[in-house]
A and B are shown apart, each in its own frame.
Chain A
Amino acid sequence: MSGEEFVPLSLTPLLIGMFAAVACALPGNFLVLRRQALIGDAISHVVLPGIVVAFLVTGTISAWPMMIGAAGASLVAVALIEAIRKLGKIEPGAAMGVTFTAMFAAGVLLLEQSDTSAVHLDVEHALYGNLESLIWLDAVGWDSLWDPVALAGLPVELPRIALTLVAVIAFVWILWRPLKLSTFDEGFAQTMGLRTGPLGLALVVVAAIAAVAAFDAVGSIIVIAMFICPPAAARLMTNRLEMQIAWSVIFAILAAVLGYVIAGYGPLWVGSDHAVSAAGMIATISGLILAIAAVAAPCRTRTGAPVE
């Protein structure tokens, strides 16, 4: 494919897909190991009504109102979960399940009932995002990467998700040791003076920021898939956390690239002229990677552990 076609039409969606996938997979590694993998799922469900309300209030889908709306929705969710848990005297998992689905349903209901047709905000967008439409029309070829005029026309989602990814990488890099230590042995970490409560909260907040930034571009399906599938598959590839992180990044990028390409060109190859959703295909590929890892990866079982 020539640069004249690839750069304006495919480069930006590909990059956004890759950045979103990696930004979610990185914190996902720790969430999976902490048995909190569903928090990613939860976040992407819970933020929907917040984002819709933020849009209804401000009338735009710009970054800050959406972030604030998402944060507000998260707080409401936490309060609801605590209330249901205390008042209903049920286990936290059930309280979370009720809260997430109820809030997601409320978000969908709000979307359907309100007039959001003027902007790209509807149920389909919320689920699948609009990766294919994040094109760079100002570009004419690879040379545009050095053309300030053309660069000014980049879709706003690209710098937003790139910045989010940088922040996620910085978080994991700087707090690597405390994150690893407190994920493995929280009690021990506390006796060393580590504040594991705020650290765990920071991890969830970082995951939430990644989820909201990614949600904006690629929808909630991909967010849920990327929090869990690449880290879970990576865990089956290695017995070292450092290597697991590396594998999860590889898998996330692989899923993003393969998913995008197959969604765009796969139907053409089989004779259909309708492309399928890129985000949906990326999520599908990540699931396939996990399935393959589950049957063929080298560290599927902790073999060698003597039975006591």
Chain B
Amino acid sequence: MLELARMDGLAAQAQSLEQSPLSVRGMTVSYGQKPAVFSVDMTVVEGSMTAIIGPNGAGKSTLLKAALGVIKPLAGRAMVHGKPLNGQRHRIAYVPQRASVDWDFPTRVIDVVLMGLYRELGLLRRIKVVHMNKAMACLDRVGMSDFADRQIGQLSGGQQQRVFLARALAQGADLYLLDEPFAGVDAATEKAIIDVLKGLKAAGKTVVAVHHDLATVRDYFDRVFLINTRKVAEGPVETTFTAENLNLAYGGRLAMAQIDQLELAAG
């Protein structure tokens, strides 16, 4: 099996960079003395749903942010379909961690979704009916169209997360990067979000999400990327989401009992 996983890794690497919607090479990020992410390679497979998993502080979010240029890496680069990120940003939609913004900000739900249309609207173009309709359609996809005129601070955590997803949908990208989209949301929201993500995959889009809940990896995703500062493993859930890899990534912080409960691929 390990052999198979390695072969898949090679296959992913061999998949030409032009095909990969996001490829990361030698990414290294440091917040101080210790690197948060060290020399990580990642090749996202087009049309896949990939979970980035690893323990707290393993550099999951950092890897995502560095790949997007939100954090300046010490070394490494990210490419979109083999081209530098800067000319390709319109192909990427991003859902940051919900807690990363101030929800007291004076703005309405619909205004947040319209932010996703910034590339279309530019500095001064007027917001027309087509833009409003587009934003409303995105809210509708996450089941939030009744809340369009609400102040964002008046939403529950799950509702806020759905608004963030609607904003990403408005970006109309082919690659969706989500930072812990299921953190602290209610069950209804989790269902709504995963339905949207699966819909994206069905439409041929690519989804990458930082994910915490190991119990749902198998149901939600078809590929996993395990990281603990360094890359541990990358590949299909069936071959890569193994007890051995989890132990490597979590370094014994995961009790064997926990691992036993997961329907893992044979290690």
- List chain A positions with a Cβ less than 8 A from chain B: 33, 174-178, 180-181, 183-185, 187-188, 190-194, 235, 238-241, 243-244, 302-306, 308
Are A177 and B118 in contact, with the CB atoms below 8 A?
yes
> Could you give, for residues 91-105 of chain B, a 1 whenever the CB lies within 8 Å of some chain A CB and a 0 otherwise?
010101000111111
Residues of B within 8 A of A239 (CB): 106-108, 151, 153
Task: Judge whether A306 and B151 touch: CB under 8 Å.
Answer: no
Report how far A183 CA is from B102 CA in the complex, Å: 9
List, in ascending order, chain B residues with CB within 8 A of A305's CB.
103, 153-156
Q: Is B119 an interface residue (CB 8 A)?
A: yes
Q: Scoring B residues 151 to 180 as 1 if CB is less than 8 Å from chain A, else 0, what string do you get?
A: 101111100000000010001000000000
B100 and A187 within 8 A (CB): yes
Chain A residues positioned under 8 Å from B105 (CB to CB):
33, 183-184, 241
The answer to whether B68 and A191 have CB atoms under 8 Å apart is yes
Q: Which of A33, A183, A191, A302 contacts B94 (CB 8 A)?
A: A191
- CB contact between B89 and one of A193, A243, A306, A308 (< 8 Å): that residue: A193
Give the interface size class of chain B.
35 or more
Determine the chain B residues whose CB is within 8 A of the CB of A174 once the complex forms. 123-124
Q: Kindly state the separation between the CA atoms of A178 and B118 in the bound complex, as whole angstroms.
A: 8
> A238 → chain B, closest Cβ, in Å?
6
Does B154 lie within 8 Å of A244, measured CB to CB? no
A184 neighbours in B (Cβ, 8 Å): 101-102, 105, 107, 112, 115
Specify which chain A residues have a CB less than 8 angstroms from the CB of B65 in the assembled complex. 187
Question: Is there a chain A Cβ closer than 8 Å to B70's Cβ?
Answer: yes
B residues less than 8 Å from A303 (CB atoms): 154
Closest 9 pairs (CB-CB, A-B): A239-B151, A302-B153, A304-B154, A191-B94, A306-B156, A193-B89, A191-B68, A187-B70, A185-B101
B267 within 8 A of A: no
Minimum distance in angstroms from A228 CB to a CB of chain B? 16
User: What are 17 inter-chain pairs, A to B, with CB distance below 8 A?
Assistant: A176-B123, A181-B118, A184-B112, A184-B115, A187-B70, A188-B96, A190-B69, A191-B94, A192-B89, A192-B171, A235-B106, A239-B107, A239-B108, A240-B106, A241-B105, A244-B106, A304-B154
Other-chain residue from B92, B122, B151 in contact with A191 (beta carbon distance below 8 A)? B92
- Chain A residues whose CB sits within 8 angstroms of the CB of B115 once the complex forms: 180-181, 184-185, 188
Assembled-state Cα–Cα distance A241/B122 (Å): 18
Chain A residues with CB under 8 A of B100: 185, 187
- Tell me if B19 is interfacial: C-beta within 8 Å of chain A: no
Contact status A178-B184, CB under 8 Å: no
Number of A-B residue pairs with CB-CB distance less than 8 Å in the complex they form: 86
How near does chain B come to A60, taking the closest CB pair, in angstroms?
Answer: 39
Report whether A191 and B123 are in contact in the complex, using a CB–CB cutoff of 8 Å: no
Contacts of B118 in A (CB 8 A): 177, 181, 192, 194
Residues of chain B contacted by A185 (CB below 8 angstroms): 96, 100-101, 115
User: Which A residues are in CB contact (< 8 Å) with B86?
Assistant: 193
- Flag if B156 contacts A308 (CB, 8 Å): yes
Which of A33, A178, A187, A188 has the most C-beta atoms of chain B within 10 angstroms of its own C-beta? A188
Q: Is the CB of A302 within 8 A of B124?
A: no
A272 to B154, CA, bound (A): 51
Distance in angstroms between the alpha carbons of A33 and B106 in the assembled complex: 9
Q: Which residues of the other chain, B, contact A304 by a CB distance below 8 angstroms?
A: 154
Residue pair B107, A188 in contact (C-beta under 8 Å): no
- B96 neighbours in A (Cβ, 8 Å): 185, 187-188
Say yes or no: A302-B151 contact (C-beta < 8 A), given A193-B89, A241-B106.
yes
Looking at the assembled complex, report how far the CB atom of B210 sits from the nearest CB atom of chain A, in whole angstroms. Answer: 13
Residues 120 to 148 of chain B near chain A (Cβ within 8 Å): 121-124
Which single residue of chain B is at the shortest CB-CB distance from A302?
B153
Residue of B nearest to A175 (CB): B123
Q: How distant is the Cα of A183 from the Cα of B122 in the complex, in angstroms?
A: 17
Interface centre among B69, B100, B106, B118 (most CB of A within 10 A): B106
Q: Which residue on chain B has the smallest CB distance to residue A34?
A: B102
Q: Which residues of A contact B102 (CB under 8 A)?
A: 33, 184
Of the listed residues B65, B101, B108, B171, the one surrounded by the most CB atoms of chain A closer than 10 A to its CB is B101
- Measured between beta carbons, the chain A residues less than 8 angstroms from B111 are 240-241
Q: Please, which residues of chain A bring their CB within 8 A of the CB of B94?
A: 187-188, 191
* B123 touches which of A178, A190, A302 (Cβ 8 Å): A178
Bound-state Cα–Cα, A304 to B104, Å:
12
Whole-angstrom CA separation of A188 from B118 in the bound complex: 11
CB neighbours of A181 from chain B (8 A) = 115, 118
Write the chain B residue with the least CB distance to A35: B102
B66-97 contacts to A (CB < 8 Å): 68-70, 86, 89, 92, 94, 96
